[in-house]
Amino acid sequence: MQKEEQISLRQDKLFTAFLWLLSFVSLYYNYRMASVVQHIPFGKGLVGVLMMGSEVLLISLAIRAYKEYYVALHPIVRILILLTIGYNVAHIVYAAIWERDVAYLSLFGNPQYQPLCMLPIALLIGLKPERFFLLYKCVWYYVLLLIPMSILIGYVETLAGTGLLFLLAFAAYLPRKHRIFLLCYAVLFILYCYKVDARATAIRTVMGGAILLYSITPFYNSKIIKVAIILATVALPLYFLRVYITTGNSVFEKALTTSYLENVEEEHVTDTRTFLYEEVIEDMNDNDAWIYGKGINGTYYSSFFDKKDGLADRFGPEVGLLYFLLKGGIIQVVLYLSLLLWAIYRCMVISNERYKIIIGLVLISHYVLLFIEEVPHYDLYNIAMWIYIGLAFAFTREEQDDEWCEEQFNLLFSKR
């Protein structure tokens, strides 16, 4: 490892500051329903300030990255990125000016207002490959803090499982003692999740382990297997969608267990996604909103929650694909999935480097989960996914191979 590369990796202070601000914001909103967090003085105001600071850094980093790396982007990718960002910003502006239905402070202090605007900007940050390692180190610390907090507070956030998915996927590159520690940590967390019935979170962690196992097999770079994985992951979610619409049953009925619906009909106790597709699709038909969606403030009518809680109009469904469809319509879904699937193709088919293939597998897991949950918010997980998409399109030098990746990990976890 050359000294110049080592210095540049450790001195990306602007990106590091952005990650830490975003981590604090994510921690607060992940546990905002916990009584301990609700009693923090001026909690919402403080987090709003941190969020605004992170957004300023995000925009600054994105502009710098675009100026430096846009030439290396494929022209179609460049157009897709600009269209996605422009379309999302247009939704925010339209809601604020014409609908006059946006709490302006919430634009900068509420993570639910950001997904359709701020998240795609993070793709540009990922055009600098070295930033992946700083992101990994941030997620490492975040997960080490998040899981003990989950146990102490008594609320297991799914982001803990997603964080472990990220970490486990690349565990083969870690120094031996860190790898052993992470594997033990993951096993104990999975056991705890099943004890408290947090199965969806445990499944995410298991997915990370599955990616790790695949990455260390001798056939990880087999083109036939990689293409088969891509075809299967594109087809399976469409199958899930068909099951939702035609039967109302979920293939993940036993996995998606929740506790807050224990007093409603038995058919909804273990799967809160069963009826969401039907309700959102029915609402989109009634309002003729398929093309452009219903905007950043768009809601949908839920007969189920109207009967249960008296909340007829819901801000968003708990399924990522439906959330994008509701807010931005088919245009939003096509733009997002085009970038995501193209990134997967570049990592899985075009690239021969193991770390790029692992990135592709992580993006595949995100794609599949979008049809089940993965509600977009302005948090560490969603920003990380967009950075991963950027990494897929990033120009990498010839020397940035698997050996280079392993050296970067050793550097990252070496003693200062």
Residue-by-residue DSSP string for 200-262: HHHHHHHHHHHHHHHHTSTTTT-HHHHHHHHHHHHHHHHHHHHHHHHH---TTTTTS--STTT
Q: Report the share of the chain in percent with pLDDT over 90.
A: 10
At 264 the pLDDT is: 43
At 262 the pLDDT is: 43
The alpha carbons of the chain give a radius of gyration, in whole angstroms, of 21
The SS3 assignment for 314 reads strand
At 18 the pLDDT is: 92
In 253-367 the beta strands, taken as DSSP E runs, fall at 300-301, 313-314
34: left (phi over 0), alpha (psi -120 to 50) or beta: beta
Contact 374, 256 (CB under 8 A): no
The SS3 assignment for 40 reads coil
**Structure tokens given for 224:** 């036939």
- The half-sphere exposure of 152 on its side-chain side, counting CA atoms within 13 A, is 8
At 359 the pLDDT is: 92
At 100 the pLDDT is: 53
pLDDT tens digits, one per residue of 343-378 = 999 988 888 888 889 999 999 988 988 887 777 888
Distance (Å, rounded) from C-alpha 299 to C-alpha 34?
A: 26
At 4 the pLDDT is: 43
DSSP code at position 121: G
The gap from C-alpha 161 to its chain's centroid, in whole angstroms, comes to 12
At 335 the pLDDT is: 92
Residue 245 Cα distances to 61, 195, 366, angstroms: 42, 32, 21
Q: CA triplet 195, 198, 199: central angle to 5 degrees?
A: 100
pTM reported for the whole predicted model: 0.85
Q: CA triplet 63, 378, 372: central angle to 5 degrees?
A: 125
Domain ranges of the chain: 3-236+320-412
- Intervals of the chain under pLDDT 50: 1-10, 33, 35-36, 103-105, 254-271
At 113 the pLDDT is: 62
Distance (Å, rounded) from C-alpha 8 to C-alpha 297?
A: 41
Residue 172 Cα distances to 78, 169, 208, angstroms: 33, 8, 12
At 1 the pLDDT is: 44
Phi, psi of 154, rounded to the nearest 5 degrees: 85, 25
Number of residues assigned to the chain: 416
Residue 206 Cα distances to 142, 190, 235, 352, 383, angstroms: 19, 8, 21, 25, 22
The SS3 assignment for 263 reads coil
Distance (Å, rounded) from C-alpha 291 to C-alpha 281?
A: 13
